[in-house]
Amino acid sequence: MARVPEEVVDQIRDGAPIEDVVGEFVRLKKAGTNYKGLCPFHDEKTPSFNVNPRMGIYKCFGCGAGGNVFQFLMQHEGMTFPEALSRLAKRQGIDLSRYEDASEGSPRKPDARGKMLAANRLAADFYKAALESSPGERGRKYLEERGVTAEAITRFRIGFAPPRWDALIKAAGKRGVSPDDLAEAGLAVRREDGSGHYDRFRDRIMFPIRNHEGEIVGFGGRSLPDSDSRHATAKYVNSPDTALFKKGRTLYGFHEGRESIREKKRALVTEGYFDVISLWEHGFREAVAPLGTALTAEHIRSLRAHAEELVFVFDPDAAGLAASERAGSVAGRMLGLAGAPDLLVASDVLRKDFIDRDGAGAVRLKVVNLPEGRDVDALLVENGAEDFARLLSSAEGILENTVQTAMAGIAPGASQAEKIEAVQRLLPILGTCHRSVQDQYLALLEDQLGIPYPTLTAMVRRLLAENARESSPRREEKKVDLLGENLGRPKVEMDALQLLLMRPELASEAPDGLMTDPAVNEVLSLMKSGDAASLTAASIADRLESPAARALVVELAVVEVEPEDVEAELFDCIERLKERRRRKMEEDLMKRIEQTRKEEGDDSPEIWKLLERKNALLRERQRTASPR
């Protein structure tokens, strides 16, 4: 893409309210004129992530991340500036094609991300056509047997990969997409002997995986029951991680269900593609599923931005129970489980959610107990939506569920080692709970299992110490020097610049030479160099060259300040800066006078010249002095 004019960049930036864009990834809450939320770039329990809509700036005072709407997408989504610009332009219907490089009449070459997206779109169309073709009859029959409707097939763009080694490669080749391009997108595999490529997905029902924007970034494939073993190497195969697709950050069904998640303030987290689709077809359109991996902190951050309640709907087998425990442990470490129990009932188990945190981090975690031997897809198909709705209404808090499951697994007469093993399954969740919650449960375990309370507390302490050792290097790596706080910049210069960021057109009122800080001078110089009236803090952040100056602008702009009279306060700062400069000049003159006396004596002509300059400065101070 050729250079897009600054006025077009400004139009795109101004047309994308930063609180709306950031709000797609972070649950923001109004805090005065600003918004606050939990930072999407590091784990925290108390919101330190701020968004200033008026300035178009975000800033985390925990890890130091900050910038404007373009920089948020670049940092959060791993985009380049042109990619972030294109995404926001597309949202607003702004055509950037006129700025594409087309020198000497040659068509623009797509970037790596664009090539992968194009390959994925081509593959999705190919798989869709294959499902509708004669060879796709087996796929259609299988979907019909699973109760998947035509509406769901269309909504989720379900397709079919033919049982051939090169079906997609050949079809893509006719459209000018090479095997290497397919391999980069995870759609083809390079042969180990270097003799070529073969299709990654063969004889499978295909599920396109979309990102927040609805772009296809990967695929999942489910083998058919009668698939040839050469193709059915595993029941489910997902795209490998690519520059577009990260399993640990992506959730199947999130794009399709995001509006329902927001509306219901709830997300149903299940295990697979068919579970999500079945829930969607039965009216539970807020369902998502991780992609061949355990639920991660990144997944929970994404959901936390839209939902106040996460309900885990995992199969009632050992793998499903383990998935629930892992999910609860991840969420607990992230969110800092808090809240004291309101009462202990007859079964000595809490009847209260184990997360009870005010503010943007509040989230409830629950588990649906499915009947033994039934997954959610089978339950919905055989029993209908009403039966599942009843189970959903009686979902238990995940801590309560985990404790009950662990206790139920201890047979009468179990050995001490078996009891300790059961307790160890609870430690990852108990270790992240508030101390009051820990004490209640450890007392319960002591009473019912006969394990001494000091032994239980020692186990929890060991776990916490191990977690601290594991996480401390990561915290050090994320530590960011908050420019402007740690560099000792003059406060009066910070005050003046903060006011100028609110009214850049007043920059001409600040005489040259008043500022001493290089970053402040860079910002002021930019304001004076063009049409200051059209500048905003967000546009200034884009135009600055030095990272120190950009960080300073972000830090000053995000702070919620509403002076009654910006111009009057700026004039006051300028007078203070002028007075500082006069004092400095006086000090320098006194030093020169003293030095000249020593070297030339009191009657030196140079002494008289210096004294005249000193008196002129004193007269200027008296002339400009005014009562405060």
Higher pLDDT: 189 or 32? It is 189
Separation between Cα atoms, residue 61 and residue 21, nearest integer Å: 20
Q: Where are the domains of the chain?
A: 6-99, 112-238, 257-412, 568-624
Higher pLDDT: 198 or 606? It is 198
Side-chain half-sphere of 346: how many Cα atoms within 13 Å? 0
Separation between Cα atoms, residue 161 and residue 184, nearest integer Å: 18
Q: For residue 461, what are the contacts with CB-CB under 8 A and spacing of at least 6?
A: none
Nearest to 61 by CA among 81, 87, 42, 80: 42
pLDDT band at 490 (very low <50, low <70, confident <90, very high): confident
pLDDT digits (tens, 9 = 90+) for 17-27: 999 999 988 88
pLDDT digits (tens, 9 = 90+) for 323-378: 555 555 545 444 443 332 322 222 222 333 333 333 334 567 788 888 877 788 88
DSSP, collapsed to helix, strand or coil, labels residue 577 as: helix
Separation between Cα atoms, residue 463 and residue 420, nearest integer Å: 14
- What single-letter amino acid sits at 354? F
Task: Return the structure tokens found at 310.
Answer: 């996460």
pLDDT digits (tens, 9 = 90+) for 455-487: 878 877 776 676 555 554 444 434 344 444 445
Question: What's residue 339's pLDDT?
Answer: 31
Question: What's residue 338's pLDDT?
Answer: 34
Separation between Cα atoms, residue 265 and residue 282, nearest integer Å: 18
Question: What's residue 323's pLDDT?
Answer: 52
Task: Give the least confident one: 178-192, 286-300, 591-605.
Answer: 591-605
Higher pLDDT: 209 or 374? It is 209
Task: Give the least confident one: 75-89, 244-258, 336-350.
Answer: 336-350
Q: For residue 60, what are the contacts with CB-CB under 8 A and spacing of at least 6?
A: 39, 41, 42, 48, 49, 50, 66
Separation between Cα atoms, residue 135 and residue 144, nearest integer Å: 16
Mean pLDDT value across residues 482-504: 76
Question: What's residue 349's pLDDT?
Answer: 28
What is the biggest distance separating any 2 CA atoms in the chain, rounded to whole angstroms? 111
| Domain 6-99, CATH number (from 3.40.309.10, 3.40.50.720, 3.90.580.10, 1.20.1050.140) | 3.90.580.10
First to last CA, the chain: 55
Asked, colleague to colleague, whether 6-99 and 257-412 share their fold, the answer is: no
Question: What's residue 478's pLDDT?
Answer: 40
Separation between Cα atoms, residue 184 and residue 115, nearest integer Å: 9
Beta carbons within 10 angstroms of residue 81's beta carbon: 15
Nearest to 58 by CA among 28, 102, 81, 32: 28
Question: What's residue 233's pLDDT?
Answer: 79
pTM as predicted: 0.70
User: Torsions phi, psi of 289, nearest 5?
Assistant: -150, 140
Beta carbons within 10 angstroms of residue 306's beta carbon: 24
Helix, strand, coil tally for the chain in percent (to 5): 55, 10, 35
- What single-letter amino acid sits at 486? N
DSSP codes, 331-386: HHHHHT-----S-B-TTS-B-S-S----STT--EEEE--PPTT--HHHHHHHH-HH
Specify whether the CB–CB gap between 538 and 57 falls below 8 A.
yes
Question: What's residue 342's pLDDT?
Answer: 27
Specify whether the CB–CB gap between 3 and 542 falls below 8 A.
no
User: Torsions phi, psi of 270, nearest 5?
Assistant: -120, -170
Mean pLDDT value across residues 194-208: 94
Separation between Cα atoms, residue 250 and residue 207, nearest integer Å: 14
Determine what percent of the chain is predicted with pLDDT higher than 90.
34
Mean pLDDT value across residues 479-497: 65
Tell me the residue ranges of DSSP E strands in 28-181.
29-31, 34-37, 49-52, 57-60, 66-67, 159-161
Task: Return the structure tokens found at 456.
Answer: 């239980």
For the cut 70, the answer to whether the pLDDT of residue 522 exceeds it is yes
Side-chain half-sphere of 113: how many Cα atoms within 13 Å? 14
Task: Return the structure tokens found at 349.
Answer: 């188990």
For the cut 70, the answer to whether the pLDDT of residue 159 exceeds it is yes
Computed on alpha carbons and rounded to an integer, the radius of gyration of the chain in Å comes to 32
Question: What's residue 433's pLDDT?
Answer: 66
Higher pLDDT: 197 or 479? It is 197
Question: What's residue 595's pLDDT?
Answer: 81
Mean pLDDT value across residues 521-546: 87
Question: What's residue 382's pLDDT?
Answer: 87
Report how far apart, in Å, the C-alpha atoms of 350 and of each of 340, 347, 405, 536 are. 9, 9, 14, 52
pLDDT band at 261 (very low <50, low <70, confident <90, very high): very high
For the cut 90, the answer to whether the pLDDT of residue 283 exceeds it is yes
Separation between Cα atoms, residue 252 and residue 222, nearest integer Å: 14
Higher pLDDT: 272 or 231? It is 272
pLDDT digits (tens, 9 = 90+) for 386-426: 999 999 998 877 667 667 777 776 777 778 777 777 777 77
Specify whether the CB–CB gap between 269 and 327 falls below 8 A.
yes
Separation between Cα atoms, residue 220 and residue 291, nearest integer Å: 8
CATH classification (class only), 112-238: alpha beta
For the cut 70, the answer to whether the pLDDT of residue 215 exceeds it is yes
Question: What's residue 324's pLDDT?
Answer: 52
Separation between Cα atoms, residue 22 and residue 66, nearest integer Å: 12
Average pLDDT, the chain: 81
Second CATH level (architecture) for the domain 257-412: 3-Layer(aba) Sandwich (3.40)
For the cut 80, the answer to whether the pLDDT of residue 257 exceeds it is yes
